[in-house]
A and B are shown apart, each in its own frame.
Chain A
């Protein structure tokens, strides 16, 4: 939900990082980015969470 909010509020071209540790989000975030037509730039694995870096394309 936080990712959708951040992307909706952001400007086209903006790069957004989302931290997530819940299992569902690990699966859902890449799926949503693809469906919504944005770009997943990186997934950085940290000790307690994963960082998804997204570029808003439209």
Chain B
């Protein structure tokens, strides 16, 4: 029986494991998911935690409960991958052999890479989101700055979404006129997806969000409450929301499989790690220059599940990943946008409407039932 080891129990790892368990013939393979803490976290809910609209506890589930019974689960830290021996070394000296390995280890946050980051808040972890929620509750006016501390970062539209939702939040609290919202974009436009930039620029204008382009955080001075960019500009803040720098996972870096940022060079269609015919990569862990987002990991996971199932059956891999991503953004005041795009087709500027807002709310509610279980 072939052994398939999946590193990481997030969206990508869960989708691969459950989809493959459905597709593979019974007895063809033994699937093992390895996750450090065995917890699956629904990260798109973090923004709503910051606004006090989401219970943090409801964003976390035990990964075991999301996996099919035929999938084994090991709660342990993967320390090193040995592609030559086809082995994963776990904490405590245990080893797992594999015939196919799937690396779905996501990204790791590195606030310590920005000097003075302790002067900022963020919403890229559950703890960070709770801290930001508490800071926002006490905030009664001044300059609120949303900025990016390193590229690439997860869910590129999220900082813009955060600015829109802060406009909504402060309006509902009746203090919007006391808050100056500033959005510092790391790129030469406000929104990462070029075709949507005019729409988001207009939305920011209507919401009175001040924007600065080409601002990549170099350092923060918590005493004087200033943030400096590597392009040489300085902006004052009273409350700073900064996206921490990201890297690939330690196990990738320690195994020598990543580039300088710890991202694994990956073929963008087959999703095989370059130079390795038996290692697939899904989600944030790849170096493919597309959104590091749950939707990306979801679609990639289905492709990888199909391809491993076919190879186990002696067939050629049937699927190529075409870069498909679909996601919803909440623009505040119960309006949203939906974006669908792939490698060749950028998103068509969508209408800002209530239907897409409801689409986002629906995904937030149905996520646990549908996506990790690979039902869609």
Binding site for B on A (CB under 8 A): 1-2, 4-5, 8-9, 22-24, 27-28, 31-32, 35-37
Contacts and interface: CB of A to CB of B under 8 A. Distances in A.
Contacts of A5: 150-152, 261
Q: 9 shortest A-B CB distances, which residue pairs? A: A28-B188, A24-B194, A9-B260, A1-B151, A35-B231, A36-B231, A5-B151, A4-B151, A2-B289
Interface size class of B (residues with CB under 8 A): 10 to 19
B230 A1 contact: no
Contacts of B151: 1, 4-5, 8
Given A1-B289, A37-B232, A8 B150 contact: yes
B188 A31 contact: yes
The interface residues of chain B, by DSSP majority, are classed as loop
A28 B194 CA distance: 11
Interface of B: 150-152, 156, 186-189, 192, 194, 197, 214, 216, 230-232, 260-261, 289
Given A1-B187, A24-B194, 4 more contacts: A1-B151, A1-B192, A31-B214, A35-B232
A28 B189 contact: yes
Nearest to B153: A1
17 contacts: A1-B192, A1-B289, A4-B187, A4-B216, A5-B150, A8-B150, A8-B151, A8-B216, A9-B260, A9-B261, A24-B189, A28-B187, A28-B188, A31-B214, A32-B188, A32-B231, A36-B214
B188 A8 contact: no
Contacts of B186: 1, 4
Contacts of B189: 24, 28
Contacts of B194: 22-24
A37 B232 CA distance: 9
A21 to B, nearest CB: 11
B117 to A, nearest CB: 15
B114 to A, nearest CB: 11
A1 B216 CA distance: 10
A26 to B, nearest CB: 11
Nearest to B150: A8
B239 to A, nearest CB: 25
Contacts of B188: 24, 27-28, 31-32
Contacts of A22: 194
Contacts of A31: 188, 214
A24 B260 CA distance: 26
A36 B197 CA distance: 22
Contacts of A23: 194
Contacts of B216: 4, 8
A18 to B, nearest CB: 10
**Highest count of chain B CB atoms <10 Å: which of A1, A2, A9:** A1
Contacts of A27: 188
Contacts of B187: 1, 4, 28
Contacts of A32: 188, 214, 231
A8 B152 CA distance: 11
A1 to B, nearest CB: 5
Contacts of A4: 151, 186-187, 216
A36 B261 contact: no
Contacts of B192: 1
A23 B346 CA distance: 12
A11 to B, nearest CB: 10
Nearest to A2: B289
